[in-house]
């Protein structure tokens, strides 16, 4: 019976395929790192109204309320803010743009909370809720 084994050419081919495969894996990890998705959760009366993924080039306006009691939320280029409302102190408006988790904007008169959530680990050790 003839013994069949790997020739030098077979070993060379297997070695080259392994090198090419590992090089492709390493380059894909370096060149295309996983990007964190930042989501703005807009809650009214502690009920989720809308979740918006923040990204460059995206624009949306959301109006909450009616004609007299209202708030306008603006999402633009990876950040979010309460652009306008008719509350007396304008605290939510004065907070300005937020873009990094775990930042949030709160509008107490209309019970609006905009909270940023991400799948990326935070530099913060702990958050009290």
> Which pLDDT does position 12 carry in this prediction?
94
| pLDDT score, position 6 | 84
pLDDT at 27: 87
pLDDT for res 121: 66
111 & 50 share domain:
yes
Are 47 and 108 in a shared domain? Answer: yes
**Residues of the chain below pLDDT 50:** none
Q: Is residue 82 part of a domain?
A: yes
Residues 71 and 16 both lie in one domain: no
Residue-number span of the structural domain to which 59 is assigned: 38-118
Do 25 and 45 fall into the same domain? no
pLDDT value, residue 102: 86
CA 117 to chain centre: 7
* Rounded Cα gap, residues 67 and 1, in angstroms: 93
Q: Is residue 1 situated within a structural domain? A: yes
Res 120: pLDDT? 72
Q: Is the peptide bond before 11 cis (omega within 30 degrees of 0)?
A: no
Question: For position 66, what pLDDT does the model report?
Answer: 81
Predicted local distance difference test score (pLDDT) of residue 129: 57
Q: Is the pTM of this model over 0.85?
A: no
What is the 3 state secondary structure string of the chain?
A: CCCCCCCHHHHHHHHHHHHHHHHHHHHHHHHCCCCCCEEEEEEECCEEEEEEECCCCCEEEEEEECCCCEEEEEEECCEEEEEEECCCCCHHHHHCCECCCCCEEEECCCCEEEEEEECCCCCCCCCCC
pLDDT given at position 124: 60
Q: Classify 10 in phi/psi space as left (phi over 0), alpha (psi -120 to 50) or beta.
A: alpha
Structural domains in the chain (count): 2
């Amino acid at each position: 019976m003839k013994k069949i084994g790997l020739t030098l050419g077979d070993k060379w081919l297997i070695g080259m395929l392994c090198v090419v495969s590992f090089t492709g894996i390493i380059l894909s990890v370096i060149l295309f790192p996983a990007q964190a998705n930042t989501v703005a959760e807009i809650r009214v009366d502690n009920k989720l109204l809308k979740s918006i993924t923040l990204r460059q080039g995206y624009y949306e306006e959301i109006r909450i309320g009616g004609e007299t009691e209202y708030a306008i939320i603006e999402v633009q280029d990876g950040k979010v803010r309460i652009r306008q409302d008719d509350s007396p102190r304008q605290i939510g408006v004065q907070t300005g743009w937020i873009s990094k988790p775990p930042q949030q904007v709160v509008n107490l008169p209309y019970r609006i909370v905009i909270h940023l959530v991400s799948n990326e680990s935070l530099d913060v050790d702990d958050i009290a809720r």
